Structure 1
Amino acid sequence: MKHTRSYIENHPRPQWTRPTFVLLDGPWSFAFDKDDIGRKKGYMHGLEAPDTILVPYAHQSPKSGIANQNDSAVVWYEKIIDTSITDTQRLLLHLEGSDYETEVYVNGVYVGLCKGGYHRHTLDITTYARTKTRLVFRIKDGMDATQPRGKQRWMPYAYECFYLGTTGLYKSVWLETVPKTYLKHARYTPDIDHFKLDLDIEVAGLPEGTLKIDVHHEDTLIHQAVHTLTRERFHLSLDMTTDTQTMKLFHWSPEQPHLYDLTFTLSQQGQSDDVVRSYVGMRRIETRNTILLLNNQPLYLKMVLDQGYFGAGHLTATEGELAEDVKLMKQMGFNGVRKHEKIEDGRFAYYADVLGLLVWIEMPSAYEFREDTVHNIIEEWRQIVRQHVNHPAVMAWVVMNESWGVYGIKSHKKMQHFTETLYHLTHTLDGTRPVISNDGWEHTKSDLVTMHNYAESYAELASAYDFSKHGLLSGHRTQHMQTKLAFAGTHTYDNQPLILSEFGGIAFKKDAEKGWGYGHGVQTPEDYLNKLSGQMQAIRDNPAFSGYCITQLTDVQQEVNGLLDEARQPKVPLEAIKKLNDAFPKR
């Protein structure tokens, strides 16, 4: 595997790197605050008789060293670090994932509140840092069903397909030194038809000097541009014509995940003050009537559902574990993954970009429809989109799953308007990818129509989607397992591509004491493959489908219906799954 020029081992954000970063993962002081008295007792100045926790593992996970599975309302973290910056530098603190409300104190001073467990938070702590800097976080979580929870339980025990909670830090914490004027953000919009890359750039600080952008494909310089800074936000367009490619542009695809390296150099008074390395993939995803297209060619999705749980680490993985998951999916012949109810570590998207794996980004659900729910989801979702929009592997946005949190959407106008609002908001933030309004059933405005069905046999699945009988393609609503409609309210089918985005979920009878799977368990690996093969044959025989997503990559706690167990050991040969996937169209 060849890395991009931006790659630095264990960097939490491989698509946007400076060498001046310090990873703060490792031992931290830690304390539970059951009675929420930490503020009164001055914990921001130092914890009393703390435990030690291994960041970035949540205290519920065995790898944290705490392994306390109680969902505490308030916890505190503390770490004393060496910080050294000059008068011409700033110090940025990044929290990749902290669930749910994080108060940040630096040397006893309150710096800010970070709300939301599924996106990166960044704070400028320059004013508060000293040679020895005390970082203290007060993190509040709980069972509130109006906050995005994903698969975290909101009752005091694990049940159905909902698992142990995650409180506090569960992704990396790191520092980054930048100059006073630095490159804050860049948004990439590839235009493959015109061989160009559009960039929307944001600079923090005084917009003076120049910004140089170098574009390389492997060792070949493709383009160099120099822009004089006059504004904090500006737009540039780069010619990406590539003479080393016969068609003049290297496209990104799962089969050939070509990437262009980008180097941004911000200079003031002749000095190269800020250097950022990044990369971009030139590709286009679109729908055209019932067809899904990648780079103007038909795309058939062969996906696996992945909930992103890692055994004793729970929601937290090492870089090596993330890379291995992508490799395993590729080895089994999948060209995509539906990341289910979790926003994964940024290094997962990096390996999906480099190795070629399409990714659906799905908003973790809340489970109670209130005004607070609307505010919480919208605020966090816009940050999630901004954080992932530049990854070429990301091909679709999923704003709701199975009507979770909007249970009355079939007839409830406010709930329908909410999913429609999220659909249009997402297209406002990113008009280059399909948006799915409610994965599984009861769609409103949606670019793909996705359906979930755990029917066990060929005959059951084939009958369920015999559209000559059920009329989905003629504009009528259709039943899902006799209980759910494909569309909510007055919404009807409008020639969108159709994806069976959940099926399978097969478990072995021998695992019944550990947990559950969908339908009847199987006895042997041969039984497993025969059952899965029949279900996939029903999809393959139906020309209406543009793809599928198998449940699921691994077992997760009480759910034992993975292709792999929690330790990533195959239950059936990987090559057998690949053979089933390879029977479908290559694209």
Structure 2
Amino acid sequence: MPALRSSSLARPRGPAVIIGLAVALLAALVAPASASAPAPASAPAAASWKAQTPPLTTPWTDQVSPTNALPEYPRPQLTRSRWQNLNGEWQFAEASAGETPPTGKTLAERILVPYPVESALSGIKRHVDHMWYRRTFTVPKSWHGGRLLLHFQAVDYHATVYVNGTQVATHTGGYDGFSADVTGALRGNGPQELLVGVDDPTDIGSQALGKQRKPGDGIFYTPSSGIWQTVWMEPVAASYVSRLDATPDLASKTLRLTTHVAGSPAATVEAVAYAGHRPVGRAVGAAGAELSIPIRKPHLWTPDDPYLYTLKVRVREGHKVVDEVGSYSGMRSIGLGKGPDGKVRMLLNGKFVMQVGTLDQGFWPDGIYTAPTDAALRFDLEAHKRLGFNMVRKHVKVEPDRWYYWADRLGLLVWQDMPATYAGHSPSAAVKTQFETELRNLVDQHRSHPSIVVWVPFNEGWGEYEPDRIAAQVKGWDPSRLVDIDSGTNCCESIPNIGSGDIYDDHTYVGPGSPVQQGARAAVDGEYGGLGLKVDGHMWDPAHGFAYEMEPDQATLTRRYTELQNRLLDVEQRCGVSASVYTQITDVENELNGIYTYDRQVLKPGAEQVRAANEALIKASGSVGQGGGQSFPPGTPGLDGVSFYPLDEGSGAVAKDTVGTHDATLVNGPAWTAGHSGSALQFNGSNQFADTGAAILDTTGNYSVSAWVKLDRRGGFATAVSQDGDTNSAFYLQYSGADDRFAFSFAGVRALAPTAPETGRWYHLVGVRDAASGSLTLYVDGQKAGSAAACLGDRSTGHTVIGRGRYGGNPVDYWNGAIDQVHVFDRALSADDVAKLYQSGK
């Protein structure tokens, strides 16, 4: 294996580059001196935590200890100067369901909070369904006289919190934070007992869990149970700011701010926006009311210039200031509109900017759901920037607030997924209520981050239900962002024919897909890629690593990545696609398709080539619509085509091409049988096909294929005619068992017949590829049966074959039944041509 560490991007570097004076000031606001060195909290009497050995170590694994477990201020958009971090060593014990709280009892084990129990950094490194956490804390004397809030940034999945034996909070949901006013449960001035009970059924129930599984396998991974984000506390007055909702409004040149105040409903709020040290806008109004802070000459937030305004918010009761908090925001807009080519595009600040990102799953070999340090959390986002990406899709996981803070500061557009359930398309009312509660909390808790531009409620249909209602609901909660109701709506378990939301999202591997922008929604390639490379010494489980397309070396991986991005240039320009999400930024457990290895130690493709390919896509945003339409040759006239296989030989190992020069060789002995007319070939559905020995069609242009077919059985996939590509067939004239329909298909796109076929009956199938309109059309027995949009065709130099397809680099979908009279055309047949062809064969 050649050395892969020569690039400056291959290893973590120093602090992030400071992006302007305002950002430096913002950093000081978010992490004040007292916050960066919080008052020490009481430790358990016995200090016996010990990290376990992870399958892989990251550059930050050895930096973790009980004295520095994620010490940074955890809530950057609502800051106060006084706070105390409760991360560190806690007592721990397994529990039974419904067990009485072990108040006042020392627990046997030690765990490092906030690392999930399954992680090596927790010191436990095993799955536990029911568990207890215990520690003590002391309230600083300077805090006495006010209220004390206890905050949990995230606990997976159901938590019950006790202080000195008094229950102070319960919470259900593994991805949103919760708080409790524990003032009434405090006793005296000494140590206070904090006890947390957690239940996490993971994949037993119907909870939102993203990609967690017991045990992790394939595209699903090791669970993360228990406390997995920071625990902390702070003193507040009787009336205090509980939440800030900031929404930029470029049309009115204002920042709309709603300050939620707990306590006095009669409080007055004053909010001031600063550009550096200079105040630029001020507003005063009632608590809970939306204020409009004027920003008369807004400095826009963009990925190239992520400018952030700092905010100071004061709460007054009469003339007395009872609370003061800091925050920040960015001035930017996101929406839909016509791009330079007249197609509906995603517009940032009123302009089309191609969003080029990766799938980011947020898993770590040492901390699983929890990055070992804040520098590690920042590293993945900095890597995106250095490699020329301007966007990241946070995939079926919600990160700590500091992750979004870094995205805001560094300048990355964020698509935020809701973690999926696996309750099917008809979940119970209780499951719906809980899912929608967590979805609402996701939106509310993160709505003020300028980096977030898209909400993604569902992925590939996992747990999807009532998509029209959910899309409208999310849009109602937050009209300022786009809603991608189901990423991968063409794939997998997705409910078909969804027209809701703002985005049509295609998943095609290796792809990229070529969806055509249609109607009022933008089109995106929400997942593609998956190019893999094995790096010795940096794999989770070398025996079981996989990728969608495994490459032999770094040079091949780099070339293939560049090829995919170059194809995206065509997709962007010709199809109207607004965004692309490459799978993925890092390996995850046994998935070896990361740009980085799972341990973040090795950058696998060449950095300069990756950056150049990404930047070319973004730069092309300004030139869409300037290249003119592509023209295609008229093709060969008539109904014979360029190749015709009557299959009337009745014997032998060769099927004659009576029009062209590409006789087909019979492979593995398909039998001759009575055909629709004369003889035909009978295929066994397991290994038999006929190989023409040539790439008859230019699959980037117009073409058509036809055949009389008869199925012996339904179920699975069966392909009558195809042409091999490097990984997948360029097209498939087929039966789709997933739909129980005949289809004319590209990988990930199918033009489907409306009804299921009968076995033992002859049908005439015609697949028409019209490259100019970007469409696939299927005809059955001379009549149009279905169509699908597919802007670009895959280039193919493989052989045209009868009786099978190719997918994932392997021969697949062997025909089970008979095939007769195969035509191949180098043009798109018209409906009249198809009708005549059917009648001639009939």
Paired residues of 2:533 and 2:553 also in contact (CA < 8 A):
yes
Query: Aligned to 1:23, which of 81, 85, 106?
Result: 85
Q: Distance in 2 between matches of 1:520 and 1:386?
A: 39
SS at match of 1:57: coil
1:204-239 superposed Cα distances (whole Å, 9 cap, x missing partner): 112445432221101211123344x4xx52221111
Q: 1:447: how far off?
A: 0.4
AA matched with 1:433: R
1:311-353 superposed Cα distances (whole Å, 9 cap, x missing partner): 2011101211112221111000000100001001110100111
AA matched with 1:374: K
**Number of equivalenced pairs:** 530
Q: Distance in 1 between matches of 2:410 and 2:381?
A: 8
Q: Distance in 2 between matches of 1:575 and 1:355?
A: 20
Distance 1:514 1:330, change over 3 A: farther
Which structure has more RCO (C-alpha within 8 Å, separation ≥ 6)?
1
Query: Aligned to 1:566, which of 575, 581, 598?
Result: 598
Paired residues of 1:514 and 1:560 also in contact (CA < 8 A):
no
1:33-66 superposed Cα distances (whole Å, 9 cap, x missing partner): 1x33631xx41x1344420100000110000111
SS at match of 2:532: coil
Q: Distance in 1 between matches of 2:436 and 2:322?
A: 36
Q: Distance in 2 between matches of 1:54 and 1:11?
A: 18
Q: Distance in 2 between matches of 1:402 and 1:88?
A: 52
Query: Aligned to 2:587, which of 546, 555, 563?
Result: 555
1:69-102 superposed Cα distances (whole Å, 9 cap, x missing partner): x3x2200001100024767511111111100000
Percent of aligned pairs sharing the same letter:
31
Q: Distance in 1 between matches of 2:369 and 2:411?
A: 23
1:476-495 alignment to 2 at 5 Å? 493-495=518-520
SS at match of 2:459: coil
Paired residues of 1:56 and 1:169 also in contact (CA < 8 A):
yes
SS at match of 2:458: coil
- Residue 29 of structure 2 is matched in structure 1 by 6
- Residue 80 of structure 1 is matched in structure 2 by 136
SS at match of 1:548: strand
Do residues 93 (structure 1) and 93 (structure 2) align? no
Q: 1:585: how far off?
A: 2.9
- Residue 720 of structure 2 is matched in structure 1 by none
- Residue 538 of structure 1 is matched in structure 2 by 567
Do residues 105 (structure 1) and 105 (structure 2) align? no
1:52-451 alignment to 2 at 5 Å? 52-68=110-126, 70=127, 72-84=128-140, 88-130=145-187, 131=189, 132-142=191-201, 143-153=203-213, 156-208=214-266, 210-227=268-285, 229=286, 232-241=287-296, 248-268=297-317, 270-289=319-338, 290-317=344-371, 318-369=373-424, 370-371=427-428, 372-406=430-464, 415=465, 417=466, 419-441=467-489, 442=496, 443-451=498-506
AA matched with 1:335: N
Paired residues of 2:533 and 2:604 also in contact (CA < 8 A):
no
Distance 1:285 1:49, change over 3 A: closer
Q: Distance in 2 between matches of 1:126 and 1:264?
A: 24
Q: Distance in 2 between matches of 1:331 and 1:257?
A: 15
SS at match of 1:222: strand
Distance 1:503 1:47, change over 3 A: farther
Paired residues of 1:145 and 1:366 also in contact (CA < 8 A):
no
Q: 1:284: how far off?
A: 0.4
Distance 1:526 1:80, change over 3 A: same
Q: Distance in 2 between matches of 1:498 and 1:22?
A: 46
Q: Distance in 1 between matches of 2:227 and 2:115?
A: 7
Paired residues of 1:516 and 1:561 also in contact (CA < 8 A):
no
SS at match of 2:618: coil
1:282-336 superposed Cα distances (whole Å, 9 cap, x missing partner): 1100011511101111121101110001220111012111122211110000001
- Residue 748 of structure 2 is matched in structure 1 by none
SS at match of 1:157: coil
Paired residues of 1:361 and 1:398 also in contact (CA < 8 A):
yes
AA matched with 1:79: R
- Residue 542 of structure 2 is matched in structure 1 by 513
Distance 1:524 1:574, change over 3 A: same
Structure 2: any 5+ residue segments left out of the alignment?
A: 1-17, 37-71, 339-343, 490-495, 622-842
SS at match of 2:404: helix
Q: 1:562: how far off?
A: 0.4
Paired residues of 1:301 and 1:335 also in contact (CA < 8 A):
yes
Q: Distance in 1 between matches of 2:195 and 2:447?
A: 31
Distance 1:573 1:538, change over 3 A: closer
Structure 1: any 5+ residue segments left out of the alignment?
A: 242-247, 407-414, 474-492
Paired residues of 2:562 and 2:609 also in contact (CA < 8 A):
no
1:439-460 superposed Cα distances (whole Å, 9 cap, x missing partner): 012444120111111136xxxx
Paired residues of 1:363 and 1:399 also in contact (CA < 8 A):
yes
Q: Distance in 1 between matches of 2:217 and 2:243?
A: 41
TM-score by length of 1: 0.87
SS at match of 2:486: coil
Mean Cα deviation higher: 13-22 or 517-526? 517-526
Paired residues of 1:31 and 1:47 also in contact (CA < 8 A):
no
Q: Which has the higher helix share?
A: 1
Q: Distance in 1 between matches of 2:479 and 2:140?
A: 42
AA matched with 1:272: V
Distance 1:81 1:87, change over 3 A: closer
SS at match of 2:524: strand
Q: Distance in 2 between matches of 1:498 and 1:339?
A: 19
Paired residues of 1:196 and 1:240 also in contact (CA < 8 A):
yes
Paired residues of 2:414 and 2:451 also in contact (CA < 8 A):
yes
Paired residues of 1:146 and 1:376 also in contact (CA < 8 A):
no
AA matched with 1:138: G
Distance 1:520 1:296, change over 3 A: closer
1:367-391 superposed Cα distances (whole Å, 9 cap, x missing partner): 1232133122101000010011000
Paired residues of 2:485 and 2:500 also in contact (CA < 8 A):
yes
Distance 1:444 1:152, change over 3 A: farther
AA matched with 1:267: R
